[in-house]
Amino acid sequence: MKKILLTGFVLIMFFVGKISSATDGIINITPSNGVKQGQTAFITVDFPDTPKNPVFMFKGKKYRLFKSGQNEYSGLLGISALENPGKHELAISDGTEIVGKAYINVLASPYPKQNIRVTKSMSGLGASDYELKQIGQAKYTVTDEKLRTNAPYNSPTQGCISSVFGLKRYYNGVFSGNYHNGIDIKASFGTPVKAITDGKVLLAENAKLFRVNGTTVAIDHGQGLVSFYLHMSKLDVKAGDFVKAGQKIGEVGSTGFSTGPHLHWGLYIHGTPIDPMAGWIKPVSLCK
Ligand SMILES: [Zn+2]
């Protein structure tokens, strides 16, 4: 029997709850019963009046909220795969003062471990400063316009999952602090790679300058959501292009730090990598 990764998205839709705050603002957090490590919290706030500069604060960081109704504003929060399980405060501000507070209950996700035996010969390959800077900037892109349509989207390429999100990397038995921040989709060379949903190409770089990530495309879907497509053999877009859902942006390859043809595909919310299989794309089979 095929192993299918089930998405929690449909279930999530049934758990929408309203949490009244201490003041007049009403905060909705979906899913209301808790958000797993590596997954997404959908935040909607009904403000009593039109806010000046609506934001929410979580773990000492500020994130923008975007207009989604008359006095209603929404935003996405990516919960890190390494976030401590338990209750964490979320505060809402209209730009002048705190107008409401709620709690996000972070639930543990049992991500598997992967031990990698590191030898001296493997330590030579590093990303250039240029590569790190470009990737870093693209990850944290936040634009006003919501370019995306509703999830779940079609998989960015045809293939099976050879490596899941969240795999904790141990080097010679010691946790490296790193984990697999996307999914690997195994496919043959030249398989079309498609944009998951509408967006604007933030970067389209070939492997000459991207020694680790290889030929890479990053797409801004608006309001803090960015998708990454790595190790490709061919580029079909350039930075600044607007792409539509399902539009071909490149082809599967094995450029950069890669041992065989596959697409590493990652999804970021305000720079935090999240599990794309948790409701963002339709189920994809694991490789046998
Ligand atoms: Zn990968």
The string of pLDDT tens digits covering residues 19-42 is 444 445 699 999 989 999 999 999
CA of 231 to the centre of ligand 1 (A): 9
CA of 201 to the centre of ligand 1 (A): 20
Average pLDDT rounded to a whole number, residues 140-167 = 93
Q: Is 68 part of a structural domain of the chain? A: yes
Is 81 found in the same domain as 22? yes
Higher pLDDT, 117 or 155: 155
Looking up residue 45, the CATH number of its domain turns out to be 2.60.40.1930
CA of 25 to the centre of ligand 1 (A): 41
pLDDT of residue 121: 54
pLDDT of residue 20: 43
pLDDT of residue 19: 46
pLDDT of residue 124: 53
Q: Is 205 part of a structural domain of the chain? A: yes
**Residue that is last in its domain, among 107, 125, 159:** 107
Q: Is 87:103 a contact under the CB 8 Å cutoff?
A: yes
List the domain range (segments joined by +) for residue 148: 113-274
Looking up residue 212, the CATH number of its domain turns out to be 2.70.70.10
Q: Is 177 part of a structural domain of the chain? A: yes
Is 131 found in the same domain as 61? no
Number of structural domains the chain divides into: 2
Is 95 found in the same domain as 145? no
Is 227 found in the same domain as 123? yes
Is 172 found in the same domain as 48? no
Average pLDDT rounded to a whole number, residues 39-57 = 94
CA of 81 to the centre of ligand 1 (A): 15
Q: Is 3 part of a structural domain of the chain? A: no
CA of 54 to the centre of ligand 1 (A): 35
- Distance (Å, rounded) from C-alpha 182 to C-alpha 268? 9
Average pLDDT rounded to a whole number, residues 253-266 = 94
Percent of the chain with pLDDT strictly greater than 70:
89
Q: Is 279 part of a structural domain of the chain? A: no
pLDDT of residue 110: 86
Cα 11 to Cα 8, 14, 27, 117, 244: the distances in Å are 5, 6, 20, 39, 28
CA of 251 to the centre of ligand 1 (A): 16
CA of 113 to the centre of ligand 1 (A): 14
Is 232 found in the same domain as 170? yes
Mean pLDDT, rounded, of the chain: 88
pLDDT of residue 24: 53
pLDDT of residue 6: 36
CA of 194 to the centre of ligand 1 (A): 17
Is 78 found in the same domain as 213? no
pLDDT score of 17 more than 80? no
CA of 49 to the centre of ligand 1 (A): 45
Average pLDDT rounded to a whole number, residues 148-173 = 92
Q: Is 282 part of a structural domain of the chain? A: no
Is 218 found in the same domain as 153? yes
CA of 281 to the centre of ligand 1 (A): 16
Is 270 found in the same domain as 184? yes
pLDDT of residue 201: 98
Average pLDDT rounded to a whole number, residues 132-146 = 94
**Residue that is last in its domain, among 73, 107, 141:** 107
CA of 261 to the centre of ligand 1 (A): 11
Give residue-wise pLDDT tens across range 164-185: 999 988 888 888 888 999 999 9
CA of 14 to the centre of ligand 1 (A): 32
Q: How many Å from the N-terminal Cα to the C-terminal Cα in the chain?
A: 10
Q: Is 281 part of a structural domain of the chain? A: no
Is 140 found in the same domain as 64? no
Average pLDDT rounded to a whole number, residues 237-244 = 98
Is 117 found in the same domain as 14? no
**Residue that is last in its domain, among 90, 107, 124:** 107
Q: What type of residue sits at position 217?
A: V
Give residue-wise pLDDT tens across range 209-227: 998 999 999 999 999 999 9
Query: Who contacts 109 (Cβ-Cβ below 8 Å, separation ≥6)?
Result: 36, 37, 38, 39, 81, 166, 275
Closest by CA to 283, choosing from 150, 185, 181, 193, is: 185
Query: Which residue has tokens 């890669």?
Result: 258
CA of 225 to the centre of ligand 1 (A): 19
Is 184 found in the same domain as 259? yes
Percent of the chain with pLDDT strictly greater than 90:
74
pLDDT of residue 246: 97
Average pLDDT rounded to a whole number, residues 141-162 = 93
